[in-house]
């Protein structure tokens, strides 16, 4: 009996092992089938997404709807001043005291000055100087007539419009009112440039150089 009992126990354990192996094999096959199905579903999802993207782009082109522009927009050069967008409106008149550049005599010596002051110095003093936000200009003085002149470049539609963009619903990219121009006028505001900034002579344009500048 003991041997028979042991044999039965042995055959029983062997049977259990075989059953366990079959179960493991079945589970492994099922897992592989599941993984394969998951990969198949993922591939289908990617394929559908790409198909949808291609269809949307094709529909946009066919319907005449412009696609969103890439940013940043490539720099565009102009041979002339573009007409300002009506959206841009000046709060203050540009260069209200401007005047034509006068004709300089050939024997005149023109002193050239560097002019620099903090932006909005007239309102905030030297505050913006600490942030290195400065405004520059060039000053001229005729030694023959004793008259002074200032030439500066600044924005047509005020500093805020030039510095910060506008977000317009009908446009994809940010929009700036950032056109500027040179303003030439008689006189140098000594107090403005000296009080919180710089007013120093940096050069002299002499007789022959004056002719070259005019030519």
Q: Where are the domains of the chain?
A: 1-66, 110-214
| Contact indicator for 84, 161 with CB cutoff of 8 Å | no
Which residues, at least 6 apart from 153, have a Cβ–Cβ distance to it below 8 Å? 137, 180, 181, 182, 183
pLDDT digits (tens, 9 = 90+) for 77-136: 878 888 888 999 888 888 888 988 888 888 899 999 999 988 877 777 777 777 777 889
What is the spatial distance between Cα 98 and Cα 112, in angstroms, rounded to a whole number?
A: 19
* Helical ranges in 68-170 per DSSP H: 121-124, 158-163
The two structure tokens encoding residue 133: 């936000």
pLDDT, tens only, 119-142: 877 777 777 777 777 889 999 999
């Amino acid at each position: 009996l003991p041997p028979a009992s042991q044999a039965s126990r042995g055959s029983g354990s062997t049977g259990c092992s075989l059953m366990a192996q079959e179960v493991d094999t079945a589970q492994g096959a099922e897992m592989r089938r599941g993984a394969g199905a998951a990969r198949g579903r993922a591939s289908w999802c990617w394929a559908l997404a790409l198909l949808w993207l291609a269809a949307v782009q094709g529909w946009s082109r066919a319907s005449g709807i412009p696609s969103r522009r890439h940013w940043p927009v490539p720099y565009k050069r102009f041979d002339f001043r573009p007409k300002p967008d009506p959206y841009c409106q000046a709060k203050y008149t540009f260069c209200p005291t401007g005047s034509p550049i006068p004709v300089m005599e050939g024997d005149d010596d023109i002193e050239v000055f560097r002019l620099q002051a903090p932006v909005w110095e007239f309102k905030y003093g030297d505050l913006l100087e600490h942030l290195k936000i400065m405004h520059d200009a060039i000053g001229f003085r005729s030694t023959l007539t004793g008259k002074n002149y200032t030439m500066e470049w600044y924005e047509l539609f005020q500093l805020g419009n030039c510095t910060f963009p506008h977000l317009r619903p009908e446009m994809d990219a940010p929009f700036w009112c950032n056109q500027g121009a040179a303003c030439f006028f008689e006189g140098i505001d000594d107090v403005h440039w000296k009080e919180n900034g710089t007013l120093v002579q940096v050069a002299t344009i002499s007789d022959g150089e004056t002719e070259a500048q005019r030519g």
